Amino acid sequence: MIVIKIGGAAGVNFDAICQDVAALLKEGQRVILVHGGSAETNEISEKLGRPPRFVTNESGFTSRYTDRETLEIFAMVTAGRINTLLVERLQKGGVNAFGLSGVDGRLMLAKRKDAIRIVENGRKRILRDDYTGKIEQVNAGLLELLMNAGLMPVIAPLAISLEGDVVNVDADRAAAMVAGAVKAEQLLLLTNVPGLMRKFPDESTLMPHIPKNGLEQALAFAEGRMKKKVLGASEALDLGVKKVVFADGRIDHPVYSALAGKGTVIE
Ligand code: ADP
């Protein structure tokens, strides 16, 4: 079993990824896709006159501030447009893809963070009314059911809270939780860089291999949203996934290259 997270950063080659996925399925491999949608949500939010707002928490992690209206835009873009068009592309390539978000059938259950502590202009503040969450449980049985019926799950990064509210979740960490729940051998995080760089954006500083106990140090090199990938990698390994690869999603055969170890391999 392989879980592949397709990033939303500019330049990611969806066609090449879908072609590789179709070939892998033909080889008899089981695959689950998870996608993001951060960049496209920003674009659409701007167009709707609701520019995105990002907040930084006390540990330095940045995330989208998601009030109810933002959540609805996020759902519209990720579970609506991105998911449907990805399924369309896969169907065209002969893959019987099945799109769903973590809300459907309670696929991903999350703890909603109703109050988040942020640092703004050097001062601490508490934000309430935020619809983001941290996944606590993945319904692996539902994914098995789909795959046993010959369907390939394509998951949008929304979850349902314990109270039944829809929440926005980080797609990298969602993919990590899914990979752990289905006991995937590998988790591939495809994005628009060749891997984790020690001195971003200098590609000559690409880190080809990080042992599990080197992740904490690696976190220091990651800026912005890259931090979430490092965190996701660590969570996936903790859940028993053997190998996590950060790899380039812009190149030809992005999935096969990642499986061949091109990128940053963490194990
Ligand atoms: P996606 O939506 O594809 O998951 P993100 O924007 O979340 O992509 O994360 C990938 C981005 O992380 C890269 O485009 C790059 O700008 C940024 N980044 C920050 N620090 C690093 C680093 N040390 N090495 C590589 N990329 C980094």
Q: Residue 51 CB: number of other CB atoms within 10 A? A: 9
pLDDT confidence of residue 8: 85
Angle at 143 between CA 90 and CA 238, to 5 degrees: 110
pLDDT confidence of residue 76: 98
pLDDT (tens digit, 0 to 9) for every residue of the chain, 267 residues total?
999 999 988 899 999 999 999 999 999 999 999 999 989 999 999 999 999 998 988 888 888 889 999 999 999 999 999 999 999 999 999 999 999 999 999 999 999 987 889 998 889 999 888 999 999 999 999 999 999 999 999 999 999 999 999 999 999 999 999 999 999 999 999 999 999 999 999 999 999 999 999 999 999 999 988 999 999 999 999 999 999 999 999 999 999 999 999 999 999
Whether 110 is in the pocket of ligand 1, judged by its Cβ within 6 Å, is: no
Cα(261)–Cα(243) distance, integer angstroms:
10
pLDDT confidence of residue 134: 95
Could you tell me the distance, in angstroms and rounded to a whole number, from the CA of residue 153 to the centre of ligand 1?
Answer: 25
Whether 61 is in the pocket of ligand 1, judged by its Cβ within 6 Å, is: no
Whether 200 is in the pocket of ligand 1, judged by its Cβ within 6 Å, is: yes
Least Cα distance to 226 among 7, 67, 1 occurs for 7
Query: Best mutation site among 14, 74, 191 for ligand 1, i.e. most ligand atoms within 8 A of its Cβ?
Result: 191
Whether 11 is in the pocket of ligand 1, judged by its Cβ within 6 Å, is: no
pTM score of the predicted model: 0.95
Could you tell me the distance, in angstroms and rounded to a whole number, from the CA of residue 233 to the centre of ligand 1?
Answer: 14
Could you tell me the distance, in angstroms and rounded to a whole number, from the CA of residue 148 to the centre of ligand 1?
Answer: 34
Angle at 42 between CA 74 and CA 19, to 5 degrees: 75
**Atom 26, ligand 1: which residue's CA is nearest?**
196
**Atom 3, ligand 1: which residue's CA is nearest?**
7
Cα(51)–Cα(147) distance, integer angstroms:
38
Whether 191 is in the pocket of ligand 1, judged by its Cβ within 6 Å, is: yes
Ligand 1 atom at minimal distance to the Cα of residue 224: 19
pLDDT confidence of residue 61: 80
Whether 38 is in the pocket of ligand 1, judged by its Cβ within 6 Å, is: yes
pLDDT confidence of residue 148: 98
Angle at 199 between CA 196 and CA 202, to 5 degrees: 85
**Atom 21, ligand 1: which residue's CA is nearest?**
222
Could you tell me the distance, in angstroms and rounded to a whole number, from the CA of residue 223 to the centre of ligand 1?
Answer: 7
Residue linked to tokens 């880190």: 207
